[in-house]
Amino acid sequence: MAKGRSLLFAWLFLLMIFAAPFSDAQNAQNRNPERAKIGKLGQVNQEDVPIYLKPNVRSRVLCKAKNEQYVVLRNLTSEWATVVMADGSNGYIQAKYVDRLPFEVGIKPETSVNEFRISGQAMVSRNGSWQSQLISEAMKYIGTPYKWGGTDLRSGVDCSGFVQELYKQFGIRLPRTAEEQATVGMPVARLDQLEMGDRLYFTDGGRTRITHTGIYIGNGYFIHSSKSSGGVATEFLSEKWLRVLVDARR
């Protein structure tokens, strides 16, 4: 593969995460005209899928994409998807091998990876708002063990119980399960509109239903109770989580 013609992989997307909306690109541009739109986010659904120089299977193969690899799409027809290469040129992948995801990809010139790091302490902003107090309270329970069906913030709690109990402390009553909670509150249309205290909702691997939730704490991080993390912990919204993030509520 020629130097400079590699795909825009997931690491590039992570640098641009807060320029990516849940909704359509036109609204995004109206809200922030200085942001440069690149394309739509796609995900390869097969292993070793060829990316061609031209939209023809007899054309030269530029590289091969891995299964579940992210790509940035300029165009998608019934037969071909136009893929943005690292040097800004076009590559082509057969449309049947790529799934279009509900994100636009754009980048702000001043965006840097340093914007997505935190010091490990609760971030207090918005002048002591209840949301910042909620995050400060949530951070107190880091290390509480995960317990399926649990609602005790100190002895054991599951993901939706963690969110429900924290919000209850601030006078907000939420349903018990993540799937039910995702129907309550104002939708947050874009990733770059997320504010601390917003609730995040994730689907299962088959994208059939909402099965997990957490609370956004700022700078690309969220806090949740997770079995895989051993309990309450903070995590970065990496590609692992973006892959299954389907809703955000305020």
Question: How far, in Å, are 13, 53, 206, 239 from residue 10 at the CA level?
Answer: 5, 21, 20, 7
174: annotated active-site residue: no
Choose the catalytic residue: 28, 65, 135, 159. Answer: 159
Specify whether the backbone of 217 is left (phi greater than 0), alpha (psi in -120 to 50) or beta: alpha
Choose the catalytic residue: 161, 212, 218, 234. Answer: 212
Residue 187 CA to residue 185 CA, distance in Å, equals 6
198: annotated active-site residue: no
Spatial strand order of the sheet with 61-65 comes to 61-65, 49-52, 90-94, 80-84, 70-76, 36-44, 98-107
Choose the catalytic residue: 150, 167, 224, 234. Answer: 224
Which element (helix H / strand E) includes 83?
strand 80-84
Residue 10 CA to residue 13 CA, distance in Å, equals 5
Residue 20 CA to residue 61 CA, distance in Å, equals 29
159: annotated active-site residue: yes
Residues with a catalytic annotation lie at 159, 212, 224
